[in-house]
Amino acid sequence: MTLLLLSFVLFLAMGMPIAFVIGIAGFMYFFTQPMLPFEGAVQMVVLQSQSFAFLAVPFFIFAGNLMNVSGITSRLLGLARLVTRRMYGGTAQVSVVMSTLMGGVSGSATADAAMETRILGPEMMRIGYKKGYICAVNCTTSLITATIPPSLGLIIFGFVGQVSIGRLFAGGLIPGLIMMAFLMATTSLTSRIKRYDPPRAEAPRLTIHELVLNLKESVWALLFPVLLIVGIRFGVFTPSESGAFAVIYAIVIGKFVHKELTWEKFKKALVTSFKDNGAIMLIIAMSGPFSYALTWVQLPVALSSLIFGISNNPQILMLVMLAFLFVTGMFVDSNVNFLLLTPIFLPMVKSLGVDPVHFGVLMATVVTLGVMTPPIGAALYTVCGIIDCPVEEYAKESIPFMTAILLELAILVFLPGVVTFIPNLVFGKF
């Protein structure tokens, strides 16, 4: 176990890409164990890519990229501006609402945070928001994307833990909306204290006519998550196939409804997608031997006896697990966290009688939060890089938002019904 974890930490600290870190650490363990044939390690890398459930990963990445270039993003942005224009901290509120709307078409929090910072960042700077605040708002609110279906985190959790992806998708809906409410309240509060962007007196009240006019255009994107869950529910497509439908949907809307999708844009989205997919699939594939080695050294057993030793109250144990995931998320890539820790934690929560969907949604949220927390977080560095903001400033300004998110999660731990209500309604009770 020492060799495995030591090489993991050492390679990570040296700045090695995470896919190679877990891959090589896993290989090294196989090398030192004469009982484990090395061909087996290579075979595990290949086999890890051979899961039908993982098809959803490339498809949803592609669908998200296509929707971005086919005019769906700009229409959703219009809607977000419309409903927030009379609010305090209006432009920051646009970001919160936008993340929620985008959540229904995109599965990646990092991509969403980057897109919003690029679009809203310059405008917010002009109005007088501080850089740290801009990054904090755009980055932390993209967590809503990770909860509202489709979400890559939920897909990977569902695949690794053998939990119904349709149920997980449905389970993410209400927590996503609650998070939106929490973050809008936080934005309103903090921008009032900082006197950012007060509502303009001349801003006209939102009229039904305006809303209908906008909805005519943006309804296609808003309908998407609903269609997805309904389609899976009635067996029109399996969760993995739903990704292929998403791609075709995006092409049809972009080409025939919005008429903005050109061959050039399509090609660009395609290249971006297979590269993104390659980067993620490499991590997934390379995690095969490492995860096997973790079981071999009996880390799951050690960890579960450690956690079960703390208490026997299911809620407290869940809070402990989420806290553990929050800490690992600060240092380790979110995909790696899903791949390595789902098989350890899920059996534990199941034995406590917790609904896997309930835990999955909370785990997906807290693990994805890891890409936004310092010291190591992909979304955080991307966002801060875009408008050139020091990480310390971001860290300071993001505290109220992080607090709101953690508070929401803690409340949800005690209210499983809020998460499982829609899955039980749509798919029937277990």
Partner 1 sequence: MKKIYRWYCKAEEAVCGVGFMFLVGFVFLSAILRFFRFSMSWNIDLAMLLLAWTAFMGADIAWRGGQIIGVDILTRTLPVALQRVIQLAVYAIVLAALVIMFIFGARLAWSERVSTYQSMPIPYSLVTISLVFAAFSMVFTTIQKIRRVVLLMAGKSTASNPNAGPDDQMKMDEDI
Nearest to 29 by CA among 53, 46, 52, 5: 5
Per CB under 8 A, which region of 186-194, 265-273, 361-369, 409-417 contacts partner 1? Answer: 265-273
Pick between residue 112 and residue 355 the one whose CB is nearest to partner 1: 112
**From the list 84, 138, 142, 272, which residue makes contact with partner 1 (rule: CB under 8 A)?**
272
CB of 124 to partner 1, least distance (A): 19
The residue from 62, 220, 338, 394 that contacts partner 1 (CB under 8 A) is 62
Tell me if 267 contacts partner 1 by CB under 8 A.
yes
Cis peptide before 289 (omega within 30 of 0): no
Q: 393 exposed, middle or buried (CB, 10 Å; 0-12, 13-18, 19+)?
A: middle
DSSP code for 55: G
Q: Which of 282, 303, 307, 406 binds partner 1 (CB under 8 A)?
A: 282
Q: Identify the residue among 4, 22, 29, 55 touching partner 1 (CB under 8 A).
A: 55
- Give the DSSP H or E segment for 14: none
CA distance 217 to 212: 9
Stretch of 42-50, 169-177, 193-201, 303-311 lying at the interface with partner 1 (CB under 8 A): 42-50
**What is the spatial distance between Cα 117 and Cα 112, in angstroms, rounded to a whole number?**
9
User: Which one, 339 or 362, has the nearer CB to partner 1?
Assistant: 339
For partner 1, the closer CB: 252 or 302: 252
**Candidate segments 11-19, 87-95, 297-305, 337-345, binder of partner 1 by CB under 8 A:** 11-19
Binding to partner 1 by residue 42, rule CB under 8 A?
yes
* Angle at CA of residue 372, ends 53 and 74, nearest 5°: 75
- Min CB(310)–partner 1 separation in Å: 30
Binding to partner 1 by residue 327, rule CB under 8 A?
no
Among 127, 270, 407, 425, binds partner 1 (CB under 8 A): 270
Query: Which candidate, 145, 139, 141, places its Cα nearest to that of 183?
Result: 141
Q: Please state whether 377 falls in left (phi above 0), alpha (psi between -120 and 50) or beta.
A: beta
376 by DSSP, 3-state: which?
A: coil
| CB 147, min distance to partner 1, A | 21
d(CA 5, CA 21) in angstroms, rounded, equals 11
Question: Are 338 and 365 contacting, i.e. CB atoms less than 8 angstroms apart?
Answer: no
Closest listed residue to residue 197, CA positions, set 70, 86, 353: 86
Nearer to partner 1, 182 or 290 (CB): 290
Q: How many Å apart are CA 97 and CA 327, to the nearest integer? A: 28
Interaction pattern, residues 106-145, with partner 1; x per rule: CB under 8 A = ----xx--xx------------------------------
Q: Which amino acid is at 250?
A: A
312 binds partner 1 (CB under 8 A): no
Here's the x/- map for partner 1, 350-389, by CB under 8 A: it reads as -------------------------xx-----x-------
Residue that the structure tokens 């269609």 belong to: 227
SS3 333: coil
Asked if 276 is part of the footprint of partner 1 (rule: CB under 8 A), the reply reads: yes
Among 70, 99, 186, 240, binds partner 1 (CB under 8 A): 240
Query: Could you tell me which residues come within 8 angstroms of residue 296 by beta carbon, excluding any fewer than 6 positions away?
Result: 29, 33, 36
Q: What does the binding site for partner 1 look like in residue numbers (CB under 8 A)? A: 11-21, 23-24, 27, 38-39, 41-43, 45-46, 49-52, 54-55, 58-59, 62, 110-111, 114-115, 236-238, 240-241, 243-245, 247-248, 267-268, 270-279, 281-282, 285, 375-376, 382
